[in-house]
Amino acid sequence: MRIGIFYGSTLDNTKEAAEQIKVQLESDISITIDLYDVATCDVQDMQSYDVVLIGCSTWNIGELQDDWYDKFSQLDTIDFTGKRVALFGCGDEGGYPDTYQDAIGIIGKHVRELGATIVGYWSTEGYDFIDSAALEDGKFMGLAIDNDNTAGLTDSRIQMWVQQLMRELHLESVHA
């Protein structure tokens, strides 16, 4: 199984989350994970992975992070049929409670239309927001990180999400 992580990051929060997810996954499974900054890669590289993790923060009022704006339309060139996609993003639930984690929803819904199966839905328990384009059936379409208001929860949330992904993807831990 090939896994690639693709992220866009302005203030390095999403980059740090992507790196932490990569380290956590690689410490638990015997697979090398490739990491890509969408600002400098060709998103067509997603085509060669069975599992694609996409990281994007929400900016302004429910908008994609700048690097993803430049690459979003290029997603249309990828056949996501049979691919499993997990999403994660950074946002500010206190400052933007009406559009918290919208970027996860924007990208997630788009790649699903292109054939992807979304994995890694995440509980909204413990979050304080009003609305999100990332909500489906009462859950976020991916891991929601808020380093502005709940930075102390980021490490444990990433760890729990990675464990959840491993179960959903049927990846066996090397520590089992």
**Domain with 97 in it: what CATH number?**
3.40.50.360
Please report the pLDDT score of residue 78 as a whole number.
95
Q: CA-CA distance, 65 to 104, in Å (whole number)? A: 11
Answer whether residue 175 is part of any domain: no
Please report the pLDDT score of residue 175 as a whole number.
72
Answer whether residue 120 is part of any domain: yes
Q: Cα-flanking dihedrals φ and ψ of residue 113, to 5°?
A: -60, -25
Answer whether residue 148 is part of any domain: yes
Answer whether residue 173 is part of any domain: no
Please report the pLDDT score of residue 176 as a whole number.
61
Number of domains in the chain: 1
Answer whether residue 54 is part of any domain: yes
Radius of gyration of the chain (CA): 15
- Domain residues for 59? 3-168
Q: CA-CA distance, 5 to 174, in Å (whole number)? A: 20
Please report the pLDDT score of residue 101 as a whole number.
98
Answer whether residue 174 is part of any domain: no
pLDDT in tens, 73-114: 999 999 999 999 999 999 999 999 999 999 999 999 999 999
Please report the pLDDT score of residue 29 as a whole number.
87
Answer for the pair 168, 120: CB distance below 8 angstroms, yes or no.
yes
Q: Where are the alpha helices (DSSP H) in the chain?
A: 13-28, 66-71, 102-113, 154-168
Please report the pLDDT score of residue 172 as a whole number.
82
Regions of the chain with pLDDT less than 70: 176
Answer whether residue 94 is part of any domain: yes
